[in-house]
């Protein structure tokens, strides 16, 4: 008998049917994989089951009882969202227990000592190294991720735990910590629902799976009876070659080598003395652990952060740093890893989000031409296959993958000379990933300089011609992807400066 059962569940939004009659059975002591592309309806399903949305159709049974007649049943279900949503300026212990259960943690006032002792138990259980007194903003990203799970588990009634991409911003060693915690929950008789775009991870941890596509359940069964290719086929409804390479073809013999962008002895917050050259026609990868200083380096080149010393040349000419407006004007664009924080204008429409980048192209004597703007935006939506209900749809209502395509699309519309992609496929499904790789390859071959910052070694190997490894703010090697082994690369990520090819 399944602990949580979903029957014929559906939810409509104005103009969109987000979820059609979906069935789902969750059993205690098992890990259930919920798979699907961006916008397939995973988040909607989760929000219905956790009670954040009311269903339009169907019912949810928890422990055999209908949730509609007993909303208190939602207490058995906990949800850890993809984005970290802790309170950064208060302590770890307070974050764990907000809003404080009066009975256990003292009366009217919060008993600090008691709170911190109780917190320490949870920290130990999940091998979180932070102290209960640390402010969350000072805690490392993997610890924060585990802290969110710990917070969910302070609910003693919790039987079902939804984890939405808990590993998307972690590196492999850190992912293993999360996996151990998941196994712990499974063995203690909880049902886990695990959402992830990382197929290997899913195959390793899952017991059962359900695949959603366009809001419908298209497949379910046992993980042991499906393979990588089968899962991808179910999610995308198409064959996608997962080991396909997207490296731009090398320059023809004898063609002159042209350096588009070069950095010389660049030093800034989080990195030191970085020099490199980006050549025409190549994708240059930047590998490193979290905190290696790659994003800071790129944001400094882009002018978003201040440089302390060193210089940059763009197309052979010295390029003054420190102003994003100048970079954008020169066609040097940076697509941030933080889509929400640095990318989208959340309350504005898709039209305005694309239009903002091409205003100079669509503004005449009488101001912005609505007609021209609509035409250009329609072109971008078509060219990048962005799934929208209409261009006046608010961008926050698009799935992450489609938001990313809007951001890429609007950047392309400006005819850039250098594009810096910072983790462009974070939280993005396999098919959209391949589309983004294809776009990068095409642009590189057209002569746009492409820099790819990624934490996924596989991604760098598939796309980059050369890979620069960074470790705690310094370059530890430049490698030709085709002739370098994984071991050498991984070694460089952890700081060993060996086998460096001449750049």
Partner 1 sequence: MQRKNRLGFLKNQMMGVLIALTVIFVISAIVSPYFLTSYNMTVVARSLAFVGLITIGQSMLMILGELDLSLGVMAGLCGVVSGILMVNFGLNPWLAMFLSLCLGAALGFFNGIMVTTLGLHSLVLTIGTAGIFGGANLVLTKGVAITNIPKEVQFLGRGDFLGMPVPFVIMIVVLAIASWVILKTPFGRYIYAIGDNTQAARMLGIKVDRVRALVFTAAGTLAALAGLLMVTRLGTAQPSIGETWVLPPIAASVIGGVATTGGIGTPFGAILGASIIAVIENIIVLFGVSPYWQGVVSGFIVVLAISFDSISRRYLRGNG
Per CB under 8 A, residues contacting partner 1 are 13-15, 52-54, 302, 304, 324-329, 334, 336, 341-349, 352, 355-357, 359-360, 363, 366-368, 389-390, 392-394, 397
User: Nearer Cβ to partner 1, position 354 or 492?
Assistant: 354
Cα–Cα distance, 79 to 111 (Å, whole number): 27
CB closer to partner 1 out of 90 and 356 = 356
Minimum CB–partner distance for residue 347 and partner 1 (Å) = 5
User: To the nearest whole angstrom, how small is the minimum distance from the Cβ of residue 125 to partner 1?
Assistant: 34
* Sequence-distant (≥ 6) Cβ neighbours of residue 392 within 8 angstroms: 349, 350, 351
**Min. distance of Cβ 59 from partner 1 in angstroms?**
17
CA angle 148, 154, 160 (to 5 degrees): 80
Nearer to partner 1, 53 or 100 (CB): 53
Asked if 303 and 326 touch (Cβ cutoff 8 Å), the reply is yes
Q: Where are the alpha helices (DSSP H) in 414-469?
A: 430-446, 457-463
* The Cα angle at residue 50 between residues 44 and 53, in degrees rounded to 5: 50
> Given the complex with partner 1, which of 129 and 396 has the nearer CB atom?
396
Helical packing angle, 228-236 and 430-446, nearest 10° = 80
For partner 1, the closer of residues 451 and 492 by Cβ is 451
> Which residues 6+ apart lie within 8 Å of 452 measured at CB?
283, 284, 285, 286, 421, 424, 440, 459, 460, 463, 464
Rounded to a whole number of angstroms, the minimum distance from the CB of residue 300 to partner 1 is 13
User: Is 95 or 357 the residue whose CB approaches partner 1 more closely?
Assistant: 357
DSSP per residue over 158-225, as a string? --EEEEESTTTT--HHHHHHHHHHHHHHHHTT-EEEEE-S-HHHHHHH-SEEEEEETTEEEEEEEGGG
Q: Shortest distance, CB of residue 306 to partner 1, whole angstroms?
A: 13
Which is nearer to partner 1, 250 or 390 (by Cβ)?
Answer: 390
Closest contact distance (angstroms) between CB of 6 and partner 1 is: 19
Q: Residues 136, 90: contact at Cβ < 8 Å?
A: yes
> What are the DSSP calls for 235-251, one per residue?
HHSS---TT---PPPPP
Closest separation in Å from C-beta 199 to partner 1: 31
**Smallest distance, Å, CB 305 to partner 1?**
11
Q: What angle do CA 156, 162, 168 make, to 5 degrees?
A: 125
**Closest CB to partner 1 among residues 241, 366:** 366
242 versus 389: smaller Cβ distance to partner 1: 389
**Bridge partners of residue 262, in order along the sequence:** 277, 313
Encode 89-135 in three state secondary structure: CCEHHHHHHCCCCCCCCCCCCCCHHHHHHHHHHHHHHCCCCCCCCCE
Largest CA distance in the chain: 79
- Closer to partner 1 by Cβ: residue 225 or 360: 360
Task: Count other C-beta atoms under 10 Å from residue 393's C-beta.
Answer: 17
Q: Could you tell me the smallest distance in angstroms from the CB atom of residue 441 to partner 1?
A: 24
CA distance 182 to 398: 29
Nearer to partner 1, 255 or 356 (CB): 356
Question: What is the closest distance, in whole angstroms, from the C-beta atom of residue 244 to partner 1 in the complex?
Answer: 31
Q: Which residues contact 234 (CB under 8 A, 6 or more apart)?
A: 35, 211, 213, 218, 219, 226
Q: Minimal distance in Å, beta carbon 378 to partner 1?
A: 16
């Amino acid at each position: 008998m399944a602990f949580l059962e979903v029957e014929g569940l559906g939810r409509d939004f104005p103009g969109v049917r987000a979820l059609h009659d979906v069935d789902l059975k969750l059993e205690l002591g098992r890990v259930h994989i919920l798979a699907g592309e961006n916008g397939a309806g995973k988040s909607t399903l989760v929000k219905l089951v956790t009670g954040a949305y009311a269903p339009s159709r169907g019912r949810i049974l928890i422990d055999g009882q209908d949730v509609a007649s007993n909303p208190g049943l939602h207490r058995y279900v906990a949800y850890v969202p993809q984005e970290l949503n802790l309170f950064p300026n208060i302590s770890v212990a307070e974050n764990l227990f907000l809003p404080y259960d009066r009975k256990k943690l003292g009366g009217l006032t919060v008993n600090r000592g008691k709170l911190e002792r109780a917190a320490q138990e949870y920290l130990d259980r999940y091998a979180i190294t932070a102290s209960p007194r640390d402010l969350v903003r000072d805690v490392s990203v993997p610890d924060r991720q585990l802290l969110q799970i710990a917070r969910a588990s302070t609910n003693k009634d919790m039987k079902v735990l939804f984890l939405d991409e808990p590993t998307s911003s972690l590196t492999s060693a850190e992912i293993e910590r999360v996996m151990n915690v998941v196994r712990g929950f499974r063995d203690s008789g909880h049902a886990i629902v695990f959402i992830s775009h990382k197929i290997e991870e899913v195959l390793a941890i899952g017991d059962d799976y359900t695949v959603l596509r366009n809001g419908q359940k298209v497949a379910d069964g046992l993980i042991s009876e499906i393979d990588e290719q089968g899962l991808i086929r179910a999610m995308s409804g198409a064959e996608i070659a997962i080991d396909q390479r997207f490296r731009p073809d090398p320059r023809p013999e004898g063609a002159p080598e042209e350096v588009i962008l070069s950095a010389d002895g660049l030093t800034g917050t989080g990195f030191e003395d970085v020099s490199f050259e980006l050549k025409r026609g190549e994708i240059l990868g930047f590998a490193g652990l979290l905190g290696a200083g790659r994003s800071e380096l790129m944001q400094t080149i882009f002018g978003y952060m201040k440089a302390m010393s060193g210089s940059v040349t763009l197309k052979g000419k010295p390029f003054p740093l420190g102003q994003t407006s100048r970079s954008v004007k020169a066609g040097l664009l940076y697509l941030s890893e933080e889509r929400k924080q640095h990318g989208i204008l959340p309350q504005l429409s898709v039209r305005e989000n694309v239009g903002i980048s091409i205003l100079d192209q669509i503004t005449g004597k009488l101001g912005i031409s609505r007609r021209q703007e609509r035409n250009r935006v329609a072109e971008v939506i078509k060219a990048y296959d962005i799934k929208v209900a209409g261009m006046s749809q608010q961008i926050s209502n698009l799935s992450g993958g489609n938001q990313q395509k809007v951001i890429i699309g609007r950047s392309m519309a400006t005819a850039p000379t250098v594009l810096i992609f910072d983790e462009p496929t974070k939280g993005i499904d396999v098919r959209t990933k391949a589309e983004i790789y294809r776009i990068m390859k095409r642009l590189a071959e057209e002569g746009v300089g492409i820099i790819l910052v990624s934490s996924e070694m596989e991604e760098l190997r598939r796309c980059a011609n050369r890979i620069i490894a960074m470790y705690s703010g310094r370059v530890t090697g430049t490698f030709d992807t085709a002739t370098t082994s994984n071991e050498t690369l991984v070694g460089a990520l952890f700081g060993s400066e060996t086998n460096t090819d001449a750049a």
